[in-house]
């Protein structure tokens, strides 16, 4: 999402307000209406709409229990999420509420004035709730940023009225002097001005192409448009789609245990660098160091990503042996699966992912 926002931002006057550039520019446009601004808004709505259409293909979201399944994934939830997971009735309400919001996300464009403010604020509030309750990396914060352009002028006019007395009280001459020293205003060579004018002439064509591409590409990810074989040989739209927790959230939780034998004969968990424990870790994230590690290791236990497994085992061996005197002789990588059972005990299953000798003559098995 961030890459797409930055792409549209190239064509938008982001320096018009609240920037160093705006200090040197005496005139400011009150409104910006262009293909780029339309593309930015459409991009965000397409993400929500595509995700809603994927969710409609499953049953859990329409039944109102999908969020409960999400909050049963302990490798995703924070301590706030774990506390909220104890109240399934509240989760059912959030399920219906969020699902209705994304299905009707086109209202972000269709509504105006304070109605749009209220609707966009609901999305912002829900994403902030995700930030508090789940380990999703920067996704919730990027989503909140993507929603700010939907706030209409009535919001920013109110912000201006609130900020103006504070800004007006500052010594403008001193502020400008400091900015000029810290950020000298660059002078654009005439050649670059000519290039810029040429680019401005073809910009509408570029933006039209991008806008059509966004719509067609997402239609292809949903299966509504067939792409040529030449395209699928290069990049498969199905691998780049907005299907977070869709059509249904994962129904299996899990964590990694990586027992390794040391030269001394002692057994350790070589990845977590501690004692071998097969029960569910008590720390947040179930032993996944970061959100990126979570995504990587969840892929690692899938059959389609079997080629990654030897490299991970090799990494575990090398990291341990580089930082310990008592070297590893071999490691085994296990993924402990725990299917979600909303109405009963949740059994576990140990699945060996790979094993490896850590000697100079390494052997991998998968």
In whole angstroms, what is the distance from residue 75 CA to residue 78 CA? Answer: 8
User: Residues 6 or more apart from 176 whose CB is under 8 A from it?
Assistant: 23
pLDDT at 363: 47
CA distances from 127 to 131, 142, 295 (A): 6, 9, 20
pLDDT at 362: 45
- Express the helix, strand and coil content of the chain in percent, nearest 5 each: 55, 10, 35
Percent of the chain with pLDDT over 90: 52
Is pTM beyond 0.85? Reply is no
Three-state SS at 356:
strand
User: Residues 6 or more apart from 119 whose CB is under 8 A from it?
Assistant: 107, 108, 111
Is the pLDDT at 285 greater than 60, yes or no? no
First-last CA distance in the chain: 34
Q: pLDDT category, 26, cuts 50, 70, 90? A: low
pLDDT tens digits, residue range 71-98? 998 888 989 999 999 999 999 999 999 9
pLDDT at 172: 57
**Section 169-180 average pLDDT:** 59
In whole angstroms, what is the distance from residue 115 CA to residue 121 CA? Answer: 10
CA distances from 271 to 35, 281, 290, 314, 316 (A): 50, 13, 14, 11, 6
362 or 28, greater pLDDT: 28
Considering 84-88, 180-184, 229-233, the range whose residues carry the highest mean pLDDT is 84-88
The DSSP code sequence of 188-245 is: PPHHHHHHHHHHHHHHHHHHHHHHHHHHHHHHHHTTSSPPPHHHHHH--GGGS---TT
Is the pLDDT at 228 greater than 80, yes or no? no
For the chain, what is the mean pLDDT? 85
In whole angstroms, what is the distance from residue 156 CA to residue 162 CA? Answer: 10
Smallest Cα–Cα separation from 31: which of 156, 115, 120? 156
Is the pLDDT at 28 greater than 90, yes or no? no
Tokens 């160091």, located at residue: 289
């Amino acid at each position: 999402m961030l890459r797409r926002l930055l792409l549209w931002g190239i064509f938008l006057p982001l320096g018009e307000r609240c920037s160093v550039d705006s200090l040197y520019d005496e005139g400011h446009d009150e409104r910006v209406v262009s293909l780029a601004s339309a593309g930015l808004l459409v991009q965000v709505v397409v993400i929500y709409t595509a995700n809603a259409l994927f969710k409609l293909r499953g049953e859990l979201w329409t039944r109102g229990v999908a969020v409960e399944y999400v909050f049963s994934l302990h490798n995703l939830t924070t301590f706030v999420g774990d506390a909220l997971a104890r109240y399934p009735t509240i989760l059912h309400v959030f399920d219906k509420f969020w699902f209705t919001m994304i299905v009707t996300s086109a209202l972000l464009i269709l509504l105006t004035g304070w109605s749009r403010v209220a609707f966009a604020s609901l999305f912002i509030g829900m994403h902030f709730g995700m930030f508090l309750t789940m380990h999703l990396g920067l996704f919730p914060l990027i989503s909140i940023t993507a929603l700010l352009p939907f706030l209409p002028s009535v919001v920013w006019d109110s912000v201006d009225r609130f900020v103006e007395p504070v800004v007006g009280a500052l010594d403008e001459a001193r502020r400008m002097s400091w900015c000029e020293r810290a950020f000298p205003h660059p002078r654009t060579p005439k050649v670059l001005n000519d290039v810029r004018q040429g680019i401005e002439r073809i910009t509408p064509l570029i933006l039209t192409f991008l806008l059509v591409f966004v719509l067609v590409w997402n239609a292809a990810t949903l299966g509504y448009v067939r792409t040529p074989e030449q395209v699928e040989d290069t990049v498969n739209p199905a691998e780049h789609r907005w299907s977070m927790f869709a059509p249904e959230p994962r129904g299996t939780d899990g964590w990694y245990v990586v027992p390794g034998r040391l030269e001394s004969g002692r057994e350790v968990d070589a990845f977590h660098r501690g004692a071998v424990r097969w029960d569910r870790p008590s720390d947040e994230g179930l032993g996944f160091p970061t959100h990126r590690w979570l995504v990587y290791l969840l892929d690692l236990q899938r059959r389609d990503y079997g080629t990654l497994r030897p490299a991970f085992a090799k990494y575990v061996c090398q990291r341990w042996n580089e930082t310990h005197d008592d070297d590893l002789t071999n490691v085994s990588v296990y993924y402990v699966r725990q299917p979600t059972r909303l109405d009963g005990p949740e059994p576990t299953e140990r699945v060996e992912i790979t094993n490896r000798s850590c000697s100079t003559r390494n052997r991998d098995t998968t």
